[in-house]
């Protein structure tokens, strides 16, 4: 949907990312509150970044789901920069919730997990692989409704990929083995692996692999088996433990068939919060505590290491190992 920039009155900055700035905005004449993401001046002439921003807008325009941040069209500012309009989430992120409370109960995990699975299944049905599923990209309202956002590096399998073959993209604590290897074909199974890492963290208080550096974490994703959940969280139902560990299988074909299958297992375990008012109010209180402790924004900038920096680090690490070997042999 084509939008006119002058139809929006910009308010405070609520997020600054690597390529875009997000503003709280009021849409005229409806006076509805929105979030407007504008491409930054410094990158607005970079053809690759502009193409990625346009691809993100195209992907969002294909998705319409209650658990995905809504897209309301885009266009260009007076000075020619791209912008798009999206739903403003009044609340926080799953990252904030985990930082405040360390881990979640298995009841909370399946409540949010069902919503994430529903969003992912919708995206996968439309040929979209998110490729960057992590707590910071999962937004929560004060009422506990979850919204999947940030499709900046998502893959649209119906379009040509803007990511060069062999390039590693994603967030290393949640990255699937096939993403780490830079495989040419990435499917929705990669998202299910990342989702398994996410569920593991929600239940236990930390991701399944937590090495001292990203090369160590990459090696763990590729070769190591995570500590069984029953060791640290024995109260977790066995069916939930089993499906999370299946999601963490190294080979994509060994993971659950799709997100709907995981959602079905969780739905069988679902505890009806509304029938337990005390539990329901307690969980809403946990959301308020987490989000009000960090009220600045839910659209926080990414702290992930860019792929060019990863290559540089790998090169320096390789040189260091070579120098040590030469010194030992001299």
Distance CA 258, CA 188 (A): 8
Instruction: Residue 283: name the closest of 95, 148, 140 by CA.
Output: 140
Q: Is 205 left (phi over 0), alpha (psi -120 to 50) or beta?
A: left
Tokens 């499906």, residue?
Answer: 243
Distance of CA 192 to the CA centre of its chain: 12
> Greatest CA span in the chain, whole angstroms?
77
- Radius of gyration, alpha carbons of the chain: 21
Instruction: Residue 243: name the closest of 99, 109, 103 by CA.
Output: 109
Distance CA 8, CA 4 (A): 8
Angle between helices 277-292 and 94-101 (to 10 degrees): 100
Tokens 């949907």, residue?
Answer: 1
Instruction: Residue 104: name the closest of 195, 13, 200, 237 by CA.
Output: 200
Which residue is catalytic, options 132, 156, 191, 304?
A: 132
Give the bridge partners for 261, in sequence order. Answer: none
Q: Check: CB of residue 167 under 8 Å from CB of residue 153.
A: no
Distance CA 179, CA 198 (A): 16
> Is 191 one of the catalytic residues?
no
Active site residues: 132
């Amino acid at each position: 949907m084509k939008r006119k920039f002058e139809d929006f009155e910009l308010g405070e900055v609520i997020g600054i990312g690597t390529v875009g700035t997000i503003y709280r905005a009021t849409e005229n004449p409806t006076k509805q509150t929105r979030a407007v993401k504008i491409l930054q001046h410094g990158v607005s002439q970079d053809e690759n970044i502009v193409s990625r921003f346009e691809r993100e807008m195209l992907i969002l325009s294909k998705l319409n789901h209650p658990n995905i941040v809504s897209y309301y069209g885009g266009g260009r500012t007076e000075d020619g920069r791209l912008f798009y309009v999206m739903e403003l989430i009044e609340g926080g992120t799953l990252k904030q919730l985990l930082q405040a409370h360390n881990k979640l109960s298995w009841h909370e995990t399946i409540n949010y997990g069902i919503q994430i699975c529903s969003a992912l299944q919708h995206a996968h049905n439309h040929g979209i692989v998110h490729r960057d599923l992590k707590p910071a990209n999962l937004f929560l309202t004060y009422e506990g409704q979850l919204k999947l956002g940030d499709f900046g590096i998502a893959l649209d399998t119906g379009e040509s990929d803007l990511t060069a073959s062999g390039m590693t993209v994603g967030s290393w604590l949640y990255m699937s083995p096939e993403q780490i290897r830079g495989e040419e074909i990435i499917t929705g199974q990669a998202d299910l692996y990342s989702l398994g890492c996410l569920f593991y963290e929600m239940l236990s208080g930390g991701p399944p692999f937590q090495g001292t550096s990203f090369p160590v974490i990459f090696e763990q994703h590729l070769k190591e088996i995570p500590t069984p959940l029953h060791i640290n969280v024995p109260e977790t139902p066995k069916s939930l433990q089993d499906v999370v560990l299946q999601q963490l299988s190294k080979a994509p074909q060994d993971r659950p068939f799709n997100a709907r299958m995981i959602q079905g297992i969780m739905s069988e375990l679902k505890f009806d919060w509304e029938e337990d008012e005390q539990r329901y109010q307690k969980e809403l209180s946990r959301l308020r505590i987490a989000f009000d402790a960090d009220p600045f924004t839910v659209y926080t900038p990414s702290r992930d290491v860019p792929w060019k920096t990863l290559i540089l680090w790998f090169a320096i690490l390789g040189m260091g190992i070579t120098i040590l070997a030469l010194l030992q042999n001299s």
